[in-house]
Amino acid sequence: MPTTPLDPEDALDLLGIDDAGDDKSGQDVLDVEFPPINPVKPGATPSAAAFTTAVDADLKNKLAAAQKAKEKAEAEKATAERALKTAQDRTRVLETDLATARAAGAGRGTDAGIVKERDALRAEVEHLRAQVAGRGGKVSLSSLPGEDEEAAPLPKEGQLEQVPYGRILVRMLRDHFTGRLAFKTGTAKREVYFEDGAPVAYSSSEPGERLGRVLVTQGRITEEQYLAAARAMVERGAKLTEALLEMGAIDADRLQNEQRQLTRDQIISGFALTQGSYVLETGKTPPDEVGRFEFKAGEIYLQGYRKYVPESEIKALYSSIKDAYVRPRSEFSTFRPHLGMDQDDERILKMLGEAYTVEEAVDRSGVAAERGARLLGALKLLGLISEWKPGVAEFEARLKAEKLRQAEEALALKQKLQEREEQLFNEVQKTLQRIEASIKDVARNVGTGGGGGGGGGSAGAADMRAATPSARKDASPAIPAASNNAPPPQPSPPASEPVVDAVAGEDGPGHEKYKEGMRQAAAGRLDEAETALREAVRLDATRPAYLTALARVLLANPRYERAGTLPVVRSLLDRAQALAPGDAEVSALLQRIQQEMG
């Protein structure tokens, strides 16, 4: 295709653009390709009438092609609308079948089959919606969950498959919700508490990585301190935090910060959930034993989206928006101080405001595509960015900004090269100085050895040998051997005879408390059973049955950490075995605990 060199000023004049602020240096020349309407043979000179006829014919051809393309697009849209309706109807039927199957307690195979077909249909519905909207099968940023799709009221209960965790949290923020979000995944139950839309507390039925173990992993406390505090939880019923503070293992401020960090991580871990049910309860407040903290928006929403949203979803998001122009909304300035964004994030957003597509902004900022997509996905979830169409002024500003950046980069590179050149020159100078000094030393030594006689040379050599490390090593004083006259270790005194086992059924000062503890344990009230059995042991610590029963209740109580429970249980069983060495139940249970403790 032939090209016509065109000066930038002439091109801007043809386009009706004012070039008052452009660079007049004449160094930048554009090569603009103008496809000929009807190529003219070399040497021929077309007449005005022929030229007009060619233009009219070309315009008519383009108009006819455009009309055909429009009719084809309308036909495809109608087909897509029919397919969309069919897919939506089938999806509703599957939702009903799935609810019926779950209510009837159908097997996992049936449930999984319905879910798989439903998910496939959902993807097809989104694809067809994109076709109907004329997006060529791509999902634009505006179609993602955001402020425009949150107008409908959020159901008080539902499934995470239909309303993702992240969208629930954002809705709580916009509605200034105060209360509890309880959700269940499998057998695990989790609760997030909100005040005026912000998450402030978390609790879970899962053992998980509790605070004590997290502190050990991070090196805040030692394993021995953790076990001692965990043992105090079981022995005295104290909180782990109270025990750690009493021991002086950690100061109050550090402990508060660690609790806050753990709570934050637990809240944002919900972004990884893809299945389960949820229930919203207005007005519910966190229990006294649950820590309450204040979090910035970026700590929960931005970090949660970055850390836990599946990679496949992020890749699909980036593929769909990489050619779009996106920029922050007016509300962004209010949220900005609370998002905790770093320099990489700021570079991306600055590029987006300079008429760059998402892909261009991410590439020029030097940030990985996945990281950029996670940032934009989180900001969209919060309703803080939207698509826009840059105009001529924005593109002109972009070109000038690129020239300025290139000049700054060239200057920085030049300075770096100069610094490197100076560094190399200094290193060469130092090397030459060392070589020159070595030559002088050799010349001086040779002159001294030749003119000073053998005695002087021998003395100098002796002085040098005395200064060497080997000489100093040989001259070190000998260390006397350890004495072998220490008395041999004395044998340990023989163990005392075991106390005869006492029958638990006999009357005694702790018998009533023992019976009460057994009744509470049988009813599943482990805390009450523990209280009664502790009192029974306190009243009479010579009954193996009391000790064994308390050990079993402590093992069964889920509110204690296993690492703190095992040492206490072993101590109780050791005492019980000493009282009743022939008790098979005590021996078997003690052996099991020893194996678990390693």
Percent of the chain's residues with pLDDT above 70: 69
**Token couple for 22:** 């452009």
* 283 pLDDT tier (thresholds 50, 70, 90): very high
**Token couple for 230:** 């965990």
- Comparing CA positions, the residue from 128, 129, 101 lying closest to residue 114 is 101
Average pLDDT, integer, range 562-584: 88
Q: What is the pLDDT of residues 298-311, one digit of tens each?
A: 788 888 888 887 78
Q: Find out whether 196 and 297 touch, Cβ atoms under 8 Å.
A: no
pLDDT at 194 over 90: yes
pLDDT, residue 221, reads 85
**Cα 330 from Cα 385, distance rounded (Å):** 9
- 74 C-beta neighbours (distance < 10 Å), count: 10
**Token couple for 526:** 């482990």
Q: Residue 42 to residues 8, 38, 92: CA-CA distances in angstroms?
A: 28, 13, 67
pLDDT, residue 135, reads 43
pLDDT, residue 66, reads 65
pLDDT at 145 over 50: no
**Cα 506 from Cα 500, distance rounded (Å):** 14
Amino acid in the structure at residue 490: Q
- 486 C-beta neighbours (distance < 10 Å), count: 7
Average pLDDT, integer, range 190-196: 92
Q: Find out whether 379 and 372 touch, Cβ atoms under 8 Å.
A: no
pLDDT, residue 278, reads 94
**Cα 35 from Cα 33, distance rounded (Å):** 6
Q: What is the pLDDT of residues 440-485, one digit of tens each?
A: 777 776 655 544 444 444 444 344 343 334 333 343 333 333 334 4
**Cα separation of the two ends of the chain:** 80
* Residue-wise DSSP of 494-543: PPPPPPPPPPTTS--TTHHHHHHHHHHHHTT-HHHHHHHHHHHHHH-TT-
Secondary structure in 3-state letters for 339-376: CCCCHHHHHHHHHHCCCCEHHHHHHHHCCCHHHHHHHH
- Comparing CA positions, the residue from 441, 458, 550, 569 lying closest to residue 504 is 550
Most confidently modeled range among 7-16, 147-156, 286-295, 447-456: 286-295
With tokens 């006294």, the residue in question is: 288
pLDDT, residue 58, reads 59
With tokens 């939702």, the residue in question is: 95
Q: What is the pLDDT of residues 234-244, one digit of tens each?
A: 777 777 778 88
**Cα 52 from Cα 181, distance rounded (Å):** 72
pLDDT at 581 over 70: yes
Q: What is the pLDDT of residues 337-358, one digit of tens each?
A: 878 888 888 888 888 888 889 9
* 182 pLDDT tier (thresholds 50, 70, 90): very high
pLDDT at 270 over 70: yes
pLDDT at 376 over 70: yes
β partners of residue 191: 182, 203
Q: What is the pLDDT of residues 15-64, one digit of tens each?
A: 444 444 444 444 444 443 444 444 444 444 455 555 556 555 655 665 67
**Cα 315 from Cα 347, distance rounded (Å):** 21
pLDDT at 5 over 80: no
**Token couple for 18:** 């004012």
Sequence-separated contacts (24+) of 201-206 with Cβ below 8 Å: 201/263, 201/286, 201/290, 201/291, 201/292, 201/293, 202/263, 202/266, 202/267, 202/290, 203/286, 203/287, 203/290, 204/266
